[in-house]
Amino acid sequence: MFNYTSVSDACIKCGKCVPVCTIHQVHPDETTSPRGFIDLLGAHERGELAIDKTAKDIFESCFLCTACTEVCPNSLPTDMVIEEVRKEIADQYGIAWYKRLFFFLLRHRRIMDIASKLGYVFRTCALSDNNQYGGMTPKFRLPIVKKDRLLPSMASTSILNSYDEELDHGGKGRVAIFIGCLANYNYTGIGHSLVKILKALEIDVFFAKEQKCCAAPAYFTGDFATVEALSKQNIAYFESFIDEVDAIIVPEATCSAMIKHDWEVFFRNRGMHDWAERAKRLNKKIFMATEWLANHTELPKLLEQKGASKELLVTYHDPCHARKVQGIWQEPRALLQTNYRFVEMSDPNRCCGFGGVTMQTEKFHLAEAAGKPKAAMIDESGADVVAAECSACRMQLSHALYKNQSKAVFKNPIELIAEALEDGDA
Ligand code: SF4
Ligand code: SF4
């Protein structure tokens, strides 16, 4: 069992974490708060609390948003201890069949490619396209999915299968793209837009075809065997080309945070220090896409040349894994503000309520409750578009905007930047 004592002993019960906690905001109870989680885990360590069904339900209700870690005076990693106890839950109760199937597909990309293709071909049997909000709604109730749910769109060809491994754009640099599963199979406009931007900058692309899922969905669900397998394969693969690229860029906050932060934490917590060091060594060349484009390329200059004449009013939602985990929030704003009218919503740093696989399935009522206030504040801002560099946020917020029948729609900042570059009059 993971040792929770150091965290529970360090909690001074100040309560600063409680008002910012996403689950506490939608389920105001001391047990479902960071302070409550930590207290219960201390009791579990002392042998006073078994992981019964009630405890399982409580620990599975954390959104892993890290809002608590941002305000805690002792920097206590509540999200990390919840991730650890979910391993115990998975060992004790097993993992639901549909999650095991999902993680199996994440581990076997070729089979996932075929499943995704079949899903695309037969999608209209069960789903209707919703072009306004960029997704699909079920025609009838599906297993685990409510009828009025906006699901991510599907693509005929994944991004990794859409391009050659090497794209020669003129040789002003060379970057590898880590695309992430949702952007690879569902929100493919992000990858196409990223290629357009790199082409405009004359930067060559190495499409790292053997990349695997970053393992974030499995990590948040306690499937640590999958996390170990995927992260080790990715680390060994990244090491094989890291010296030949300027950077590995990731247009996804959750994947980027998993790669840069959680892989190392995961291996350290299991005593695999050699793997933790290897993950750490890669970090200096791994960047969120907007972070790298804003700080290491001529993109800001190029966007300035295009001018500020876009009519769209844009607001930016801060993905928890971008701002709270990686400190990335200025770069996407700076790039977007060059060409678009921009407005801040009242609390851009508030979690959208995605929460992971369990929250998006068994506990979707909690995710929906957390998404509502976010959609309301986007509406209040008057924005036409809400941007966030995260496809998990996109899935969650697109549903919330659809349910609210909002004027605003969701786009990744990479898509907006590519549009600004494309438009001669941008
Ligand atoms: S990670 Fe988010 S939901 Fe979980 S305890 Fe912390 S603030 Fe609450
Ligand atoms: S802010 Fe930190 S120290 Fe204070 S109650 Fe929350 S977890 Fe404990």
pLDDT single digits (tens) 325-351: 999 999 999 999 999 999 999 999 999
CATH of domain 159-293: 1.20.1050
pLDDT grade for 426, boundaries at 50, 70 and 90: very low
pLDDT band of 378, cuts 50, 70, 90: very high
CA atoms within 13 A on the CB side of 187: 30
pLDDT reported for residue 147: 78
On average, the pLDDT of the chain sits at: 94
Three-state DSSP class for residue 346: coil
Is residue 31 lining ligand 1, measured as CB closer than 6 Å?
no
- Residue 424 is predicted with a pLDDT of 54
79 Cβ below 6 A of ligand 1: yes
Tell me the percentage of the chain whose pLDDT exceeds 90.
Answer: 90
Give the tens place of pLDDT for each residue, 168-214: 999 999 999 999 999 999 999 999 999 999 999 999 999 999 999 99
Q: What pLDDT was estimated at residue 121?
A: 86
Q: Which of 4, 9, 41, 76 to mutate to test the pocket of ligand 2 (most atoms within 8 A of CB)?
A: 76
- Calpha distance 192→419 (Å, rounded): 11
State yes or no: pLDDT of 317 exceeds 80: yes
Question: 362 alpha carbon to ligand 1 midpoint, in Å?
Answer: 18
Tens of pLDDT, residue by residue over 72-107, are 999 999 999 999 999 999 999 999 999 999 999 999
Q: Does 3.40.50 match the CATH number of domain 300-422?
A: yes
| Tens-digit pLDDT profile for residues 405-424 | 999 999 999 999 999 998 75
| C-alpha 51 – ligand 2 centre gap (Å) | 22
pLDDT at 114 over 90: yes
How many Å lie between the centroid of ligand 1 and the Cα of residue 351? 10
Q: Which atom of ligand 1 is nearest to the CA of 37?
A: 5
Most confident region among 131-135, 149-153, 231-235 by mean pLDDT? 231-235
Q: Is the C-beta atom of 21 inside 6 A of ligand 2?
A: no
Nearest residue (by CA) to ligand 2, atom 1, is: 72
Does residue 3 surpass a pLDDT of 70?
Answer: yes
Tell me, what DSSP letter sits at residue 150?
P
Position in ligand 2 atom list of the atom nearest CA 14: 4
d(CA 345, CA 383): 9
Fold of the domain spanning 5-93: Fumarate Reductase Iron-sulfur Protein; Chain B, domain 2 (1.10.1060)
Spatial distance between the Cα atoms of 393 and 318, rounded to a whole number of angstroms = 9
Ligand 2 geometric centre to CA of 58 (Å): 18
60 CA to centre of ligand 2 in angstroms: 19
Q: In this predicted model, what pLDDT tens digit does every residue of 260-288 receive, in sequence order?
A: 999 999 999 999 999 999 999 999 999 99
Mutate to test the pocket of ligand 2, among 4, 6, 14 (most ligand atoms within 8 A of CB): 14
For residue 368 and ligand 1, the question of a CB distance below 6 A is answered with: no
Chain segment 30-84, per-residue pLDDT in tens: 999 999 999 999 999 999 999 999 999 999 999 999 999 999 999 999 999 999 9
Specify the pairing of strand 204-207 against strand 166-167.
antiparallel
Q: Does the Cβ of 59 fall within 6 Å of ligand 1? A: no
Task: Sheet with 166-167: list strands edge to edge.
Answer: 166-167, 204-207, 174-177, 247-250, 286-288
Phi and psi torsions of 111, nearest 5°: -70, -40
Q: Give mean pLDDT, residues 358-384.
A: 96
Please, which pLDDT band fits residue 425 given cuts at 50, 70 and 90? very low
What is the model's pLDDT at position 263?
A: 97
Q: What's the distance, Cα to Cα, between the start and end of the chain in Å?
A: 56
Local confidence band at 1 (pLDDT 50, 70, 90 cut-offs): low
Structural domain spans, the chain: 5-93, 159-293, 300-422
Which residue's alpha carbon is at the smallest distance from atom 7 of ligand 1?
21
Q: What's the CA-to-centroid distance between 68 and ligand 1, angstroms? A: 6
CA of 353 to the centre of ligand 1 (A): 10
254: phi then psi, degrees, rounded to nearest 5: -70, -45
- Ligand 1, atom nearest to 320 Cα: 2
Q: Which of 154, 150, 157 is nearest to 130 (CA)?
A: 150
Q: Which residue has the higher pLDDT, 300 or 122?
A: 300
Distance (angstroms) between ligand 1 centre and the Cα of 81 equals: 11
Asked whether the predicted pLDDT for residue 357 surpasses 50, the reply is yes
pLDDT band (50, 70, 90) for residue 139: confident
CA distance linking residue 203 with residue 170, whole number of Å: 6
Which residue has the CA at smallest separation from atom 4 of ligand 2? 14
